[in-house]
Amino acid sequence: MGEPKRVSADAAARFVSDLADSPGFVATVLDTHLRRFHGGGAIDVPVTIVYGQRERIVPLAACRREELPANSRWLTPPRLGHVPMWDDPDALARILLGRA
């Protein structure tokens, strides 16, 4: 999270426990690190990418902007991290609704 203080100790412990107990977690992490997204140019619906300036999980160099549709919105809000709905759910809602 970009704003870790917004996450209670109980919620943080639950996140770790849920990930540890998820049977598909390791396979998902491996796939997202070993494979690349292709074919996004064919997407014909609006696309908004919110890549917060406090993102610490997915490096910017790993983002494949050239694979996105030409009309994609790419936003980099200053206070958001990897889980923006925890950082600022109201700001994220405004962004996704096109009001920010």
pLDDT tens digits, 4-47: 888 899 999 999 999 889 999 899 888 888 888 888 889 999 89
**Is residue 100 scored above 80 in pLDDT?**
no
Rounded CA gap, 12 and 47, in Å? 30
CA 35 distance to own-chain centroid: 17
Q: Look at strands 48-50 and 73-75 and give their pairing.
A: parallel
Please report the pLDDT score of residue 57 as a whole number: 85
Largest CA distance in the chain: 42
52 exposed, middle or buried (CB, 10 Å; 0-12, 13-18, 19+)? buried
- The size of the chain, in residues, is 100
Please report the pLDDT score of residue 14 as a whole number: 95
Q: What pTM was computed for the model? A: 0.74
